[in-house]
Structure formats: structure tokens, C-alpha cells
Structure 1
């Protein structure tokens, strides 16, 4: 909030993506029909997740891959670090993956003595700067070109100009050497296709293909909900994903992996290991929140959210930011720990309207607020404030008096609960009269006209 550049950049990115989306969505003909079909696919898949997980696993194994079901982050990290030790993997390259960020995989592997290199340009920048992602799709969108030049110069040990081509050239050269030296490659998974056991990865830089094909061992880390029944269903979701995520007509690279390298293949890993992660996702199955698992991680809810626009991704505290993060983080890790997140919303409904798979995001945020209240884990101050507001709102005289006090005093104060909020914002000036005052005056005028 105190960084003017970042505030301008996040807002600018939202506006830029919105303009691009409007243009490409007109080419779909009827976007609502596409959204309805995508929602139908995801809802059906999650409702039958056990069957599709079994089908996916059988097909992966049939093609020579290995599948491990990880109950939580510790289980996933233990399996992958044990595999790295067995394969004597000292250098590990990694493509962009939110689920590996979620389970803290880098830290676990580094603790085991391995060097882990992020190969997505945005993630590479953040790794060098010991920073965290600010957006599901654009993790380093909060960094200026000058900041990136400073980060790269510090890493290189010599100055690198604030020039896009030079910055990209430095990252390309450094990472290319790491690709060829890597003993293990780790990727996420955008979608797993149950009918074939295929892992589908999308990227714009080609780093995912280098990560998945050059090292001898490829490890895929995927959330248990990342499945689609068939390639026909995948076609619908891949048509929508780039359009809603970044306003692109299509993704630069779509890679479908059907197992480790076979005898006639010229490239590819010798071993493929797929780690399917629960880590709290099953908490949502069979509940009113099950549809939250429909998410395809497009980040579009953040792109339209007025709270994200002003606060940025880091303010959410967890790995997943924006409206979807404010929902799944408490559901996966417990509302006691993350009880503030469901309140990080204006409930304007823009996120629900923007979601390509029709998750009722703002309705879930309201429901989580209800759960927090019923669980009694909100603070005494919050309960008292709600009680006083409820009493005041039910007594017209008290309500009018409160409005008068707020009208004159709210814009002046810079202390108390609103002090921090106002330190970074200009509070809008008072309209001079409340709606109720205006209504009564208009009523009097209407009565005079009728007389």
C-alpha cells in the first residue's frame, strides 16, 4: 500500500487484462455458453472425483509412470525428497507450480541438500529476491523493470541494464545451462486427462518442456482436483483458460505427457512420478463449498477484484490470493487460522461474474463469514461492533444520529480502526446530506406539489 509504483501497476494490469479479454471473448460467439459447459465439466468431474482419480492412476501406471497419493504437504515433500536422494539429484529445475509453493517443496529439497532453480521468468525473479508470488498467473507483476535489473545485477555480480532484451538474455543464458545440468525436473499440472493418464502443462515460455523432457527424472506435483474426463472436455477448458487468464487467444505451449520415454522416443525422462496432493482439498468434498474445487487457476477473479486492485496479492498472506484464495485457504487450512480472509471482499460479485467455471465466489465468502460467526472465533470487538450496529439499525432515531455523527466525524479522524486504512487513501468527501435526509426532503416536495 505504501509503494505507489506497485499500486499503479496492479491496477494497470487489471485494466490491461480487461481490455484484452473483451476483445478475445467476442470471438467466442456466446461466452456464457462456454462458461456453462466448462462449469458442467468441472462440476461433474469433482462429483465423480474418486472414479476419475482411479482411472487416471490406472492409465499412468499402464504407460510406465508411478503415482503417489500424498495426504498432506509433509507426505508429498517426504516422497519427493526421498526420490531426489535415491536418484542423487543435486540440481533440480522447476517450472511454475502453485501447488509446490503451497506445500513448501523448495525449502524441503534445499534442506535435503539439493539446488532448486525456478525456471519460469517471474518465479525466477522472485526466487532471486526471496519474494513470494503476487498473482496466480503473473507472480512477479508487482516488480518494476528497474527492480528486476537490480536483482539480476546482484545475482550476476555485475551491472545489467534496465533493458527488457538484456534482462531476458541474462535469464535465458543462466537457466539454459541449468536445464542441461539438471538431474531432476519438477512441474505442476494444469490438467490430468483421466481417459489416457496424460499430464497437460501450459506455458508461454517453453520452460516447462525443457523441465519435463531434459532431466532423467520428471516429477509432476498436482492437486487432486486437477482432472478432466477426456480430451474433448480438455478442449473446452483450454479454449477458455488463456482468454480469461491473460486475454490471449491461445497459450504458446501446450504439452501433453503420456508417460516416461519409451524405446523409439528420442527425448523425454527415463522416469515419471506423479504426486497427487490432497492437503485439505478433501475437506471441501461433500460440503456446500465443493464447487470451489472447480477452479482452474486462471486468476481472473483477482483481475476484477477491487480489493486485490488496492491491496495486491501479498496482503492475503497465503499462497492463493484474490477471492478464490480467500475461500480455499481457510477451507484447506482451517478458518481459525485464516478467519480474516473471507472479510477481504466488498461482496460486489464481480469475481462470480468473471469466473469461467461459475464458482459462486461471493456467496461462498458470505457463507464463510457465517461459519466464522457460528464457530465463535471472531473477536469480542467484532461481535460487539456487530451487536451495536444491529441495535442501531433497528432503531430509526439511533440510526439517524449515527449517520449525522459519521457524516461529520468520519472524514476527519485518522486514529482508531480506520487510521491505518486512511493513511494510504483519500477518503471521499461527504455528500452533505444522507440518503434518508434527501428522501425526506423529496417526500416533502412531492407532498407540496400534490397539494
Structure 2
């Protein structure tokens, strides 16, 4: 939440373009709607850039930062290369700890297993901490149809749930909202003061309204940041302690864990804990780093290990490194496109640079336009704590999309023409002076029109009469 200009007139809250069918997501159109709400766009950009700057300060305070990144990347690469072995080791140790272990090949099977466990315990209410995996699986919607009430305990997730929106960021789910937006949401749901946009007041309203639901819940659910093969335990990192409430108050604890979350040894955990919060929020560590090894006395614990396309991605020579992701959101915070377009504009569970390489693996047709929502500037890869070559993978997806004939006709024609021009130095050098001359004499409407999206919201720079190549020849007296 951001309390910027809270006394000014509240602009309409922009909505995302979450498309439930198979129609291609138009991130550009949804981004235009977000940008049109100027205060939201300005606040969103400012808040996320602050997180990026805090990350940089935290990074510079750790002398061995690059060594940690290299070590984390190496551990992940090793684990993914032996994933079957470490998953079986984790299962064996978890079973020895008294935990029930389930395997889910996809989202449908994951949701079915959760429902079966709840039905076995006659549970009708489920409290859960923030989990991108359960968002990916569409758990809440599935449970609603089955008559199970699901209550999010993370403040940002709860705000989004009450407003019937998906999370817009993997770490700060409601970062696109102003405090006035939250005040309106809480007024509609809790009857609180619609004109009181104080962050502390709003947090207390949520606490008072949700705490009774937490205390009376039949079951609790958490996600997982790291699953440790050596011990069969798993770790959840939060700043609100809500995962501890979800895991310890109800008698039944269910943990949803993506198979890529496993790491080999307990000692490896220290590397990732030092990287995670610094990369995400610029803080040394999360407020709570909670370890779960087995059911509490008189309770029951279930772990669901979920594939949902991860094995297929692991087979890919190009895109397997995306499985190293620790969901810190650093790539989102630095991305100029994400900061100015909002996470909901991506129409997917995973937004920003990491989403551009994860989402097409789920549905190439639906997310075929997303890899083009990037400048390929490389800042995302530069801040990634596990050194994923994000911008290179985004570029690789563009090639795959073209090869699978999923590129829109106009874009394909433009890219083909540009490819022919840029692949020939002689042709390019001849075309550039002619193009510059034409641009200097074109009427305004020929440059500024709906077909030229580059000039939307920006002015064309002054066209120089001399190209750099011409200047170089003239001033250096030699041909390049």
C-alpha cells in the first residue's frame, strides 16, 4: 500500500486483463489502462524503484554478494540435475518425520488432493498463507465451488481476495493499490471508515476482521520457500507471521510445494536466506523464517509435491534455468515495463520478466504476446539472485513463438522486414540517410498515428542530417 497524496481525489482503480479462456492476453492494452490512472502508475513506479534501490544498498553491504549468487545458482543447477534423487530423499525423510506425502502431476490433481484431505477431516474452512503455487493452481476458485471457505492471511493477498483480484506481484500482492483503494475495499467488506486511509488503521481493521476466522478455521495451508531433502523439513519466509498461524492454530496443516523448491542440505539454506529478503525488499532477513518438520502434537501434516509442467520445462535445453527462481520479485522491481504497467496487465499468475519466460510454458497461444513486453535491457538478469539469464530466455521465447506461427501477422511482417534490413550492413547504411530525410519532411499525422505505437506518449527525437557512419568517415578518414 502507498499513502501518497491521500487527500487528493481518488482516481478509478485500474483493473487487470486476467483472461480465463484461451484468448491471447493483450498486455499492451491492459497496460494503457493502468497508465491512464496517473496516480496509481506514479505510485507503483516509485514504490518498486525504492525496493530496487534498497536491494542495491543491501547488496553492496555484503562483500561476498557475487560469490553468494554464484553459489546459489550452482546449488540450484546441481539440484535440478539430480531432482529425482533429492525429491525421493525428501519424501523418505518427511515420511520418517510423520508427514503424509502426496504427489500431484498438475493443478487439477493438486486441488483434488487438497479437497480429499479436507473432506476426510470434515473441514469447511481453510486459512492459508501467501502461495504463488496455489494461485497457479486456481485453488480458491476450486474450493469455492466445493463449498470450502478459503481465507488468505497475508495482508496483501487478503486485500486482493476481498477485491476479487489476483495478486499483482509475487512479494507485495497489492502494490498497485493506493491506501484509498484499500480503505474502500475494507469499507465494503468490513464496514470500516471509507475516508480513513491511514495504513495502521487499515492493517488493524484487517486484523480484527480476520483473526476470528483464523482462530475458528478447520485447517491451515502454507506454501514453501525451500524444501530440504536432507531433513525432510521445509521453510516458509514471511514478514507477518501468518504462515505460523496457518500451520499451528488448526489441527490440520497442508503444505503445497513445487518440486523445484527442493535443496539438498540444511547448510545450503543459509545461502538462500541471505539472498532472498535482500533481493526482494532490501532487508537482511524476513521477520519470520519458519521451519516445519512434522505435525505438532495431536495434529496432522500433509505435503503435496506438485509438478504442473515443471518436469517438461526441466527437459528444455533453453528454458530449464527458470526453475532456479526463488520468487524474490527483484526482476519485477527493476523492470521498466512492469513498474509502469502493473502486474495485473500480464493476465497471468506470474508477471514481469520471470512471468515472460514461465507463462508461455503453460499456454503458448494465450501468452504469445508477453515475451514482447520487454526492452531486453538485461537489468532483470543483473539483479537475479540465482543468476537466471532472463533477458536471453525472453528473446528465445520470441524465436519459439515465431517458429510455432504464434506471432501476429503484422508483427511478423515487421520483424521479417527489420531482419532483412539489419542483416545487411550495406543495405542498412543506404537506407538510413533516406529514412532520415523522409522523416524530416513527413507531415505530423504520418508520424503520429495509431499504427506507430512508438510515438504514443513520447515525441520523436530530432532527426540529424548526418548519420554516425557518415560522421565517422568524414572525421576519421577511414571506412568501417
Question: If the length of structure 1 is used for normalisation, what is the TM-score?
Answer: 0.92
* Deviation for aligned residue 1:380: 2.5
User: In the alignment, is the contact (CA less than 8 A) between 1:34 and 1:236 conserved in 2?
Assistant: yes
- Equivalent positions of 1:39-118 (< 5 A) are 39-118=73-152
The whole-number CA distance in structure 1 between the counterparts of 2:68 and 2:262 is 18
* Deviation for aligned residue 1:404: 3.7
Question: If the length of structure 2 is used for normalisation, what is the TM-score?
Answer: 0.87
In the alignment, what sits opposite 1:267?
A: none
User: In the alignment, is the contact (CA less than 8 A) between 1:300 and 1:355 conserved in 2?
Assistant: yes
* Residue number among 372, 377, 401 corresponding to 2:406 in the alignment: 377
In the alignment, what sits opposite 2:236?
A: 201
SS at 2:61 equivalent: helix
In the alignment, what sits opposite 2:342?
A: 312
In the alignment, what sits opposite 1:164?
A: 199
Distance 1:133 1:411, change over 3 A: farther
The whole-number CA distance in structure 1 between the counterparts of 2:443 and 2:325 is 39
* Deviation for aligned residue 1:154: 1.0
1:179 correspondence with 2:203: no
In the alignment, what sits opposite 2:70?
A: 36
1:123 correspondence with 2:157: yes
User: In the alignment, is the contact (CA less than 8 A) between 1:392 and 1:399 conserved in 2?
Assistant: no
SS at 2:326 equivalent: coil
1:254 correspondence with 2:285: no
SS at 1:260 equivalent: coil
Of 226-235 and 333-342, more deviation after overlay is shown by 333-342
1:401 correspondence with 2:430: no
Of 216-225 and 26-35, more deviation after overlay is shown by 26-35
The whole-number CA distance in structure 1 between the counterparts of 2:102 and 2:332 is 32
Distance 1:120 1:408, change over 3 A: farther
**Unaligned stretches of 5+ residues in structure 1:** 264-269
* Deviation for aligned residue 1:429: 3.9
1:273 correspondence with 2:338: no
User: In the alignment, is the contact (CA less than 8 A) between 2:360 and 2:367 conserved in 1?
Assistant: yes
* Deviation for aligned residue 1:7: 1.2
Deviations 1:265-289 (A, max 9, x none): xxxxx11111111111111113222
User: Which has the higher relative contact order, 1 or 2, with Cα contacts under 8 A spaced 6 or more apart?
Assistant: 2
The whole-number CA distance in structure 2 between the counterparts of 1:411 and 1:8 is 29
The whole-number CA distance in structure 1 between the counterparts of 2:444 and 2:74 is 47
The whole-number CA distance in structure 2 between the counterparts of 1:409 and 1:345 is 29
* Deviation for aligned residue 1:89: 1.2
1:226 correspondence with 2:226: no
* Deviation for aligned residue 1:388: 2.3
The whole-number CA distance in structure 1 between the counterparts of 2:472 and 2:262 is 58
* Deviation for aligned residue 1:441: 4.1
Distance 1:386 1:22, change over 3 A: closer
In the alignment, what sits opposite 1:321?
A: 351
* Deviation for aligned residue 1:414: 4.2
The whole-number CA distance in structure 2 between the counterparts of 1:368 and 1:407 is 36
* Deviation for aligned residue 1:446: 5.4
The whole-number CA distance in structure 1 between the counterparts of 2:248 and 2:404 is 49
SS at 1:417 equivalent: coil
Deviations 1:356-401 (A, max 9, x none): 0011111111111111122222233222222222344432433433
* Deviation for aligned residue 1:184: 0.7
SS at 2:467 equivalent: helix
User: In the alignment, is the contact (CA less than 8 A) between 2:192 and 2:205 conserved in 1?
Assistant: no
SS at 2:315 equivalent: coil
Q: Cα RMSD over matched residues?
A: 2.0
1:303 correspondence with 2:337: no
* Deviation for aligned residue 1:158: 4.3
The whole-number CA distance in structure 2 between the counterparts of 1:211 and 1:224 is 22
In the alignment, what sits opposite 1:287?
A: 316
- Equivalent positions of 1:147-162 (< 5 A) are 147-160=181-194, 161-162=196-197
- Equivalent positions of 1:388-427 (< 5 A) are 388-393=417-422, 394=424, 395-396=427-428, 397-406=430-439, 413-419=447-453, 422-423=455-456, 425=457, 427=458
Deviations 1:158-186 (A, max 9, x none): 42522222111111112211111000111
